[in-house]
Amino acid sequence: MSALAAARYGKDNVRVYKVHRDEKTGIQTVVEMTVCVLLEGDIETSYTRADNSVVVATDSIKNTIYITAKQQPVTTPEVFGAILGNHFVEKYNHIHAAHVSIVTHRWVRMNIDGKPHPHSFVKDSPETRNTQVDVIEGKGIDINSSINGLTVLKSTGSQFWGFLRDEFTTLKETWDRILSTDVTANWQWRRFGSVSEVRANVAGFDKAWQSARDITLKTFAEDNSASVQATMYKMGELILAGAPLIDTVEYALPNNHYFEIDLSWHKGTKNTGKDAEVYAPQSNPNGLIKCTVGRSGQKAKL
Ligand SMILES: O=c1[nH]c(=O)c2[nH]c(=O)[nH]c2[nH]1
**Which pLDDT value is given to residue 301?**
55
Query: Is the peptide bond prior to 76 cis by the omega test (within 30 degrees of 0)?
Result: yes
Kindly report the number of other CB atoms within 10 A of residue 169's CB atom: 9
Residue 299 has pLDDT above 70, yes or no: no
- E-strand ranges in 89-178 read 95-104, 108-112, 115-122, 128-136, 140-154
Please tell me the distance from the alpha carbon of residue 199 to that of residue 180, in angstroms, as a whole number. 37
Q: Ligand 1 pocket, 178 CB below 6 A?
A: no
Report, as residue numbers or ranges, the catalytic residues.
Answer: 11, 58, 257
3-state SS string over 56-67?
Answer: CCHHHHHHHHHH
Q: Are 175 and 159 in contact (CB under 8 A)?
A: yes
**Which pLDDT value is given to residue 108?**
97
140 Ramachandran zone, left/alpha/beta (phi>0; psi -120 to 50): left
Average predicted confidence (pLDDT) for the chain: 97
pTM given for the model? 0.95
Q: pLDDT tens digits, residue range 143-176?
A: 999 999 999 999 999 999 999 999 999 999 999 9
Q: pLDDT tens digits, residue range 35-74?
A: 999 999 999 999 999 999 999 999 999 999 999 999 999 9
Residue 300 has pLDDT above 90, yes or no: no
Probe target for ligand 1 pocket from 159, 161, 163, with the most ligand atoms within 8 Å of CB = 163
> Closest Cα to atom 8, ligand 1: which residue?
287
Probe target for ligand 1 pocket from 154, 159, 160, 288, with the most ligand atoms within 8 Å of CB = 160
H or E element at residue 7: none
* pLDDT band per the 50, 70, 90 thresholds, residue 298: low
Residue 225 Cα: closest atom of ligand 1: 1
Q: pLDDT tens digits, residue range 219-261?
A: 999 999 999 999 999 999 999 999 999 999 999 999 999 999 9
Q: Are 84 and 68 in contact (CB under 8 A)?
A: yes
The complex's ipTM?
0.99
Q: pLDDT tens digits, residue range 64-108?
A: 999 999 999 999 999 999 999 999 999 999 999 999 999 999 999
**Which pLDDT value is given to residue 145?**
98
Q: Are 2 and 74 in contact (CB under 8 A)?
A: no
Q: How far is CA 117 from CA 17, 23, 104, in A?
A: 19, 15, 21
